[in-house]
Every structure is written in structure tokens, then in C-alpha cells.
A and B are shown apart, each in its own frame.
Chain A
């Protein structure tokens, strides 16, 4: 009733039903006169009545009586009009009467001209009214009508009465008044029950009574007779229909926080394939179960099982290609490596625990009970037992067995890595050597194996670059290996092609830190080698290769005449008076000082800066000095051993040895201080290995180990942080022994090497 009421859309269905005449009565109640004015303007030119101009042709703006814009909005995406005969400006006539196929073609109710629809329905209504009903109605519609022939409305055959509008109207807004129709009643079925108080109740009652009497009288009446008849009833027939079983697949997933994180982190394609794999996994497992159940239910699951077979075929094909990919992947090889280590550690767990000084746990499920009891009793008597060596294990692998071990060294950074050099030149012609890097984590196979072209005589790990291992060989070449690489690329330097290389076997290589030149923290490290041609050379990795600088050439000291000294090159001529240098060791704190041991038994103290003269000479041995080693605990003390069956303890500025140790008449091949205790050192003779503990005895070795027959011991090493001794022999085995019952340094703290040295009566004279 209000004039502000917005025009509402009439639906299609309404149109449809109003067209057909349904069952029941059709009533139209009196129409309420509801007038809604709306102004529709077609904007060909900018009309002043509309508030703003819309650029496209068919925009219609609807304004209500208060000139407010109440244009209905489109419900759906606006449909482009077919450009058919639209050259003429569109008239409201078209809009209102063009109800044919155009509008009802699109399924969407809304259009740009949604008001158009409304208008059309309204027009249909008015048409119908004018056609079907003859009522007086008040309409104030003033449609602008132009000379456009509209298509005949599809729903009504009644010709329209049109009023022609004067021509000037198109540019102006016009008023359209909307009124409400009366109510149409479509179906009216009157009830068959009326109450007793209603008007026609009496008549109905009478009729009911009359009917009841009539029914009663039916039986005896001649007007009616009974007859029966039979109807044909069709036989029911069963018909079978077979369909495929509807298979159902359960799919589920759990969204967990890690799942979401994974999907976020992975790239999208990989993520999708991963998902697909996951889904396949789920689906395939489910289908396998179904297959199992399907076989019970018979042929209803036949199609299902076929599908499952297909899937498993596909799966097996992809599995093979996956297999290679997996097996070759790096993580798999890592896993294999760790797996091997774990397995080996399981086997050797008690030995390794003993090595590390951890208590050895007995397996609670093992069947042996007796040794445990015995262990307990021996612990009390521990104090009185003699120190012994207990064999723990041996590093040996099929590649290394049979080769003679010449040198061993620990890695400076990772104390679990042991490098062992193999070489054999006793048969006259030197055989190719081998360097193996063992790890304590895998006792049965060495982690790195580097074959060398010549027998290996010495090894040393660098401290600054812990991955670099310097190798000295029998033919005089010096090589540096990077043990982090696995194969041929490991050898990063080789002096084979260097012009100034050694011509005689390299007897020792050693990395040493130079004097602190700058204020930097890392001191430069330098590789120094000594060899049988009397040269002590410093090796450098220059841009053009591996090159060396002679630090010193050791000449045979002749008392009679002075040979010209200098750094001249000596050609490989044994007659020239050079003395093979067999060993060298640098002072632990004063890096410029080093001591060398030579073939003729002399030891010289030299300095980096002075390449011409020795600073000092220590004369005691009369056979080749095989090893010199400074003590790590007492900076001025060093130990030397030689083939004259003796081991001598020297102090830096004393020209005669402080102490001397002899036990058997056999050349001493090597000695090593213990890195844990200042008074323990190990010495290896050909057939035995001795451990000396100076705090308990200075005359006899504390523990002695004899080599197996047929095997000579070549090298010895003591482990840091663990009281174990490693012995390398000519059979290619590095045997690890634990020093048991050693009380070195534990009880008597007072004992000190100085004290011991003082205690020796006087200094030994020649």
C-alpha cells in the first residue's frame, strides 16, 4: 500500500500457472489499488531525469516516487544480448512485450533488464486481465509506445491495446503505476462434512437417513440382484536383474601437525606425488583386504579382484624402478654404513667398552654365570697383580692381511680415526703400498683404503686440516691425501713429478706449526720430511703444484776436512757424504727447534732459521737412531732409540743422556710416549713390545708382550684417553691391547720425571 514499497519480482512459474487454467475455481478477488510508481528511463542521450548516465544502451533505472534509485540488481551474470535488429534504440515496448523466446531462453532469472522481466510479467498480467476479465480497473500506465512491431506475446493471443505515446517521450522519464491484482483462487474443493449447526444440516441429515434405509432395503428388493463375475488376473512372474556390486572404498587420513609441516615444506609437485603415493598405499592395502574378503563372497567381487590385480601389476613395475633409485641413493648408503657399524659394535661391545675404560656390562641373559663370580674375587686382588696386557681386538681386513705394517698414527681432531700404512721392501723390490683409515666404530673393515704406488714408510695427520694425511714412501715421494674423499680424488698432492723430490726413501713426515708470525690465532702448518738422501725439506702447496724447499742437508761430519756446505742439489750418488736422516721431531713449544736422528748414530739439534749448521750434536748411539720423540709433558726432555739395543732419555741442553734403558739385545724399531701419562712409554723390538713405566721401575719394562712366531712387530702406538696399546705387525694386523693393572701416575703423585732423573746417580758417561 505504501508508495515506498519496492517493486518485487514476479517469478516465471507464476507466469506459467497463470497461463494455464488449473482445476478448481478461478477466482479473482477485488484488487487492491496499490500504486507504485516507477520511473524508467532509457538512456540514449543523457537524460536529465536520471541521476547518472550509464554508458550502455539498455540500462534502465527505476526511481520511485521520491526519485530514489530502486533499480533492481541483477541476480546473475549479465547476459550479452544478441545483436539482432538492435539498431534501433530499444524501446520499453520491446522490454515489456518482448517476452518471447528471448527472455525465457536463459535459465537465469536475472538479467541486466531484470526489471524487464518484471515488466513483462506485469504486462502479461495486465494483458491477461484485459483479455480474460472484464473488470473495471484503474491503471495509470502510460507506456511510451513507439512504432516498433513487437513480436506477438507467446502466452496470450489477445491483441494488445496500445496507446501511442507522443514522440518526444523517449528522452524523458515516464511514470508507471503498479497496482495489485485480486487474489486468484486456483482450486476450491468444498468439504463433505458440515457441522450440525450449519444451515444445510437438516437436509444432509435427511439424505443420510434416506440412504441408510435404502441400503437396508436393498437385500429383498427386486430392483437389485447380485451377480458375481471373475476377472482375469495376470500371473505374477519373477524377473531377475543383475547389476554390478557397488564397491565402496574407505578412505581416511589423519591430519597431524607433522603432516601439515611436511606439506608446507615440500615443493608442490613433489608434495602431490607424495600424497598420491600415500593414497595409493592406503587404497592398495584396503583393496588387498577386499580381495581377501571378495574371494569368500564369490563372484560378486570378481570385478573388484581384477582391479586389484591390475594395481599390483602396476605396483610391481614401479617397484623395480624404485628399487634402483632407492638402492643408489645416498641416504641408503649412509644407512648401510651406520647399520654395519651398529652390527659390528654389537659384536665388539665389551672390547670397546674396555678400550674406553667403561665398565663392561654382562648380558643378563647369557648362560655363563661363573666368570662373573671370578671377576669379583679378582678385583680385590687387583692391587697385587702384575701389570699385564689384555688383547682386545685386531684391526684386520682381507685387504690388509699379509702386508707389513710400517706406521700408524691417530687423527689429530677425531681420536677415533687411525691411519695405518703398509709397505714391504724387505724382498729387495719394493711393492706397492697401502694406506688404510680405520675407525673405532667399524672394527672389521677400514673406512678408507688408498692404494699407493710405492711402499708406505710413514704417515702423519695434519692438525690444522684434520682431513689431510701426509704419506711418505719408499721411493722418495711424498703425498697428501684428503681422507674425506673416497676414491682417486683423495690424493691432493704427490711429489712424484716434482723436480726436487727425494731420491731416497722418506723416513719420516711430520706436520709442524711454524713460529707465530702474525698475531693471528692459527699458525701455519708446514710439512717437513726427512729422507735417506740427507735432506730435510719443507713442502708447500703452491699454485703450480707441490714443491719443496730444503731446510738443511745433512752432511757426514768429517773431522778432517770441511766439506762445502750449502743447499746444493745432490744427485743420487751414494758415494757423496750425505747421511740419511731417519727421524725428526719438533720441539713441542719452540717450533723452530728440532732434533734429527741420523744413520750414523748422531743426533743433531737444528733450527729452522739456521740451515747451515747444527746447533748441537748428541752423541751416544753408535747405530742408526730409529726414533726421536719429545715428551709432551716435559718440554725439554726427549727420548731416542736406536738399533744399538738402547733407549736413551735426554734433556735438551745436556750432551749426555740422563737415563738409558736396555732390556734385550734387539734393535729398537720404535718408541712412543704415552699421551696420558708422563712416565710411560712403549717400545717395539722385532719380536716383542715393551711398556715401560718409569714410576715403577727404571730398569725393567713393566709389561712385555711377545710377538707370535713368524711375525715381527713393526709399529706401536698409544691411545689418548685410554690406556691401550696398538701394535702393528708384519701380518697386517693392528692388535689392540689394554694395559691392565697399571698404576702409572695414579697413586704416587709426587713422582716426577725430574725427581727420577735426579735420583739416578750421576750422569752416565761414555
Chain B
């Protein structure tokens, strides 16, 4: 448990990282470093995207599975790690 906390703290300490959100597949938020309102907003918007992405991957090849989704926008980048039970979003402003 403490290892997990440590790693999360490290991720947050990297340059440009704005927040990390961990939620389970039902959309229940387990851990978040952003404020509630924006966290809920984020999760609610990302969830359908993830489901669609999972569906895409598995429709093309039923044995394949979605692992990560990276969403790069003008202002920042969202890295989403997806799994059967949970998904984790980390938002980073790249320093390029």
C-alpha cells in the first residue's frame, strides 16, 4: 500500500503533471488529486471513451485488450491506463 502511495507521489512530483485520477469501471472514484467537481467531470467524460475504445479493440480482434490510451491536445496530454477493474488518468502538460 505504501509503495503505491510512494509511486503516486513520485508521479505527481514530475514536471508538468497536473493530476492523477483513479476510478473503477463503474465510475466510482477511488483516488484523485484534483478537486471533486473536475474529477467527476473528467471521469464522466472519459468513461464512454474508454468503453468505445475497448469495443474497438475487441471487435477487431476478440483476443486483444485495451491497455493504454494517450490523448494529446494542444494544452496537455492525458494518459489513461485501462484495465478490467479500474482505469487511471494522469494529466500532464508536456514541457516541449
List the interface of chain A (C-beta within 8 A of B): 256-258, 261, 277, 280-281, 284, 315-316, 319, 322-329, 331-333, 335-340, 342-344, 346-347, 349-350, 361-363, 365-366, 444-445
Check if A326 sits within 8 Å of B90, measured CB to CB. Answer: no
The residue on A at minimum CB distance from B5 is: A327
B8 close to A (CB within 8 Å): yes
What CA separation (Å) do A280 and B27 show in the bound complex? 12
Other than A315-B26, A328-B4, A346-B77, give 19 A-B pairs with Cβ distance below 8 A.
A256-B55, A257-B58, A258-B59, A280-B26, A281-B26, A316-B28, A323-B30, A324-B1, A326-B24, A331-B83, A333-B4, A335-B81, A336-B81, A336-B88, A339-B79, A340-B10, A361-B96, A362-B96, A365-B74
Check if A338 sits within 8 Å of B8, measured CB to CB. Answer: no
Check if A258 sits within 8 Å of B30, measured CB to CB. Answer: no
B41 close to A (CB within 8 Å): no
B3 close to A (CB within 8 Å): yes
Q: Which of B32-83 contact A (CB under 8 A)?
A: 55, 58-59, 62-63, 68, 70, 74, 77, 79, 81, 83
Check if A319 sits within 8 Å of B81, measured CB to CB. Answer: no
Check if B4 sits within 8 Å of A327, measured CB to CB. Answer: yes
Q: Which of B14, B22, B26, B68 contacts A347 (CB 8 A)?
A: B14
What CA separation (Å) do A403 and B68 show in the bound complex? 37
What CA separation (Å) do A328 and B30 show in the bound complex? 13
Task: Known contacts A256-B58, A328-B1, A349-B96; decide if A336 and B26 are in contact (CB<8 Å).
Answer: no
What CA separation (Å) do A467 and B47 show in the bound complex? 40
* Cβ–Cβ < 8 Å partners of B1 in chain A: 324, 327-328
* Cβ–Cβ < 8 Å partners of B16 in chain A: 343, 346-347
The residue on B at minimum CB distance from A326 is: B86
Check if B85 sits within 8 Å of A366, measured CB to CB. Answer: no
* Cβ–Cβ < 8 Å partners of A444 in chain B: 10, 14
What CA separation (Å) do A395 and B86 show in the bound complex? 32
Q: Which of A257, A258, A316, A338 contacts B81 (CB 8 A)?
A: A338
What CA separation (Å) do A613 and B44 show in the bound complex? 77
What CA separation (Å) do A444 and B28 show in the bound complex? 31
Check if A336 sits within 8 Å of B30, measured CB to CB. Answer: no
What CA separation (Å) do A123 and B83 show in the bound complex? 76
What CA separation (Å) do A344 and B26 show in the bound complex? 29
A-B pairs with beta carbons under 8 Å apart, 15 shown: A281-B26, A316-B28, A319-B26, A323-B24, A323-B30, A323-B31, A325-B85, A327-B4, A333-B3, A335-B81, A339-B11, A339-B81, A339-B90, A343-B17, A346-B77
What CA separation (Å) do A366 and B83 show in the bound complex? 33
Q: How far is the CB of B78 from chain A (nearest CB, A)?
A: 11
> What total count of A-B pairs have CB within 8 Å?
113
The residue on B at minimum CB distance from A312 is: B28
Check if A258 sits within 8 Å of B11, measured CB to CB. Answer: no
Check if A336 sits within 8 Å of B95, measured CB to CB. Answer: no
- Which of A261, A324, A329, A339: most chain B Cβ within 10 A? A339
* Cβ–Cβ < 8 Å partners of B58 in chain A: 256-258, 261
Q: Which of A315, A342, A347, A445 contacts B79 (CB 8 A)?
A: A342
- Which of B7, B10, B15: most chain A Cβ within 10 A? B10
Check if A256 sits within 8 Å of B59, measured CB to CB. Answer: yes
* Cβ–Cβ < 8 Å partners of A343 in chain B: 11, 14, 16-17, 79, 90, 92
The residue on B at minimum CB distance from A284 is: B26
The residue on A at minimum CB distance from B74 is: A365
Check if B7 sits within 8 Å of A347, measured CB to CB. Answer: no
What CA separation (Å) do A324 and B16 show in the bound complex? 28
* Cβ–Cβ < 8 Å partners of A336 in chain B: 4, 7-8, 11, 81, 88
Check if A335 sits within 8 Å of B26, measured CB to CB. Answer: no
What CA separation (Å) do A454 and B95 show in the bound complex? 40
The residue on B at minimum CB distance from A329 is: B85
Q: How far is the CB of B18 from chain A (nearest CB, A)?
A: 11
* Cβ–Cβ < 8 Å partners of B7 in chain A: 333, 336-337, 340
Q: How far is the CB of B12 from chain A (nearest CB, A)?
A: 9
What CA separation (Å) do A550 and B56 show in the bound complex? 63
Task: Known contacts A327-B4, A336-B88, A347-B94; decide if A277 and B26 are in contact (CB<8 Å).
Answer: yes
Check if B94 sits within 8 Å of A346, measured CB to CB. Answer: yes
Task: Known contacts A258-B55, A327-B1; decide if A363 and B79 are in contact (CB<8 Å).
Answer: no
Task: Known contacts A257-B59, A327-B1, A340-B11; decide if A315 and B94 are in contact (CB<8 Å).
Answer: no
What CA separation (Å) do A284 and B24 show in the bound complex? 14
What CA separation (Å) do A366 and B96 show in the bound complex? 7
What CA separation (Å) do A331 and B67 show in the bound complex? 11
* Top 8 A-B pairs, shortest CB-CB distance: A258-B58, A363-B96, A335-B81, A261-B62, A319-B28, A323-B30, A326-B86, A258-B62
Task: Known contacts A339-B90, A365-B74; decide if A319 and B62 are in contact (CB<8 Å).
Answer: no
Check if B90 sits within 8 Å of A327, measured CB to CB. Answer: no
Q: How far is the CB of B49 from chain A (nearest CB, A)?
A: 16
What CA separation (Å) do A331 and B25 show in the bound complex? 14
Task: Known contacts A336-B11, A339-B11, A340-B10; decide if A322 and B4 are in contact (CB<8 Å).
Answer: no
What CA separation (Å) do A261 and B11 show in the bound complex? 36
What CA separation (Å) do A354 and B87 show in the bound complex? 33
The residue on B at minimum CB distance from A365 is: B74
What CA separation (Å) do A445 and B70 show in the bound complex? 22
Check if A319 sits within 8 Å of B30, measured CB to CB. Answer: yes
* Cβ–Cβ < 8 Å partners of A344 in chain B: 14
Check if B63 sits within 8 Å of A261, measured CB to CB. Answer: yes
Check if A339 sits within 8 Å of B88, measured CB to CB. Answer: yes
The residue on A at minimum CB distance from B28 is: A319
What CA separation (Å) do A331 and B81 show in the bound complex? 10
* Cβ–Cβ < 8 Å partners of A325 in chain B: 85
- Which of A261, A280, A343, A349: most chain B Cβ within 10 A? A343
* Cβ–Cβ < 8 Å partners of B8 in chain A: 336
What CA separation (Å) do A444 and B17 show in the bound complex? 14
Check if A327 sits within 8 Å of B15, measured CB to CB. Answer: no
What CA separation (Å) do A245 and B25 show in the bound complex? 32
Q: How far is the CB of A271 from chain B (nearest CB, A)?
A: 12
What CA separation (Å) do A344 and B3 show in the bound complex? 18
What CA separation (Å) do A340 and B11 show in the bound complex? 6
What CA separation (Å) do A319 and B59 show in the bound complex? 29
What CA separation (Å) do A319 and B58 show in the bound complex? 27
Task: Known contacts A336-B4, A338-B81, A444-B14; decide if A322 and B63 are in contact (CB<8 Å).
Answer: no
Check if B62 sits within 8 Å of A326, measured CB to CB. Answer: no
- Which of A258, A325, A331, A340: most chain B Cβ within 10 A? A258
Check if A257 sits within 8 Å of B26, measured CB to CB. Answer: no
Q: How far is the CB of B29 from chain A (nearest CB, A)?
A: 9
What CA separation (Å) do A42 and B89 show in the bound complex? 83
Q: How far is the CB of B31 from chain A (nearest CB, A)?
A: 8
What CA separation (Å) do A363 and B77 show in the bound complex? 13
